Structure 1
Amino acid sequence: MTTTDEGYVTSKQIKSRLKRSAGQLDGVLRMMDDNRPCDDVLVQLSAVKSSIDKAMKLVIARNIINCVDGSDQMDVQKFEHSLDLLLKTK
């Protein structure tokens, strides 16, 4: 999970991820305008989906950290690990 040195996810990190996702989606739209093969479009859509999933993970991680802000670091790491497992099963 991408975090700052203090272990907190920043709005800047989340916005950066979302901007990257938007750029990928714009690329998919251009591919469709160019009548690119279905396989190519699907590969890029999969990349967009993965990028959005990562953005969701950052938002959830930020929320968890805010909710447990007083818990010890071990508890936060356990929450983060559980979140990793949850998102991998998607």
Structure 2
Amino acid sequence: MNMVIEGLNGIGWRKRRNPASESCQCGSWKLHWIKHSKRDWPSKCSNADCHKKPTLGADVRWLSGSRPQIIPLCDSCSKQTDRFNLREGTVTVLTHQYECS
């Protein structure tokens, strides 16, 4: 299930610490996000405080315990270890999709 972030749902996200063991048959998390969101790659990073262009799909988790999600982030935000808020309207995509091949 994909989510569109609106309002308070965007508060309290964090990049996952060790997702390197997980991969996807789509080729990259960016391609995974594009395929499963069925949207064009956005022009701004998903971090609400950033206005740079996103370059990769990042593996994140909402601090309330959501399942791992992929979002578009820029290089600098993808290295961030602190919590951050998602831009309103951000589309998240679950890391595990049955249609990946």
Instruction: State the TM-score, normalizing by the size of structure 1.
Output: 0.28
Q: Tell me which protein shows more helix as a share of its residues.
A: 1
Q: Which has the higher contact order (CA 8 A, sep 6+)?
A: 2
Q: Tell me which protein shows more strand as a share of its residues.
A: 2
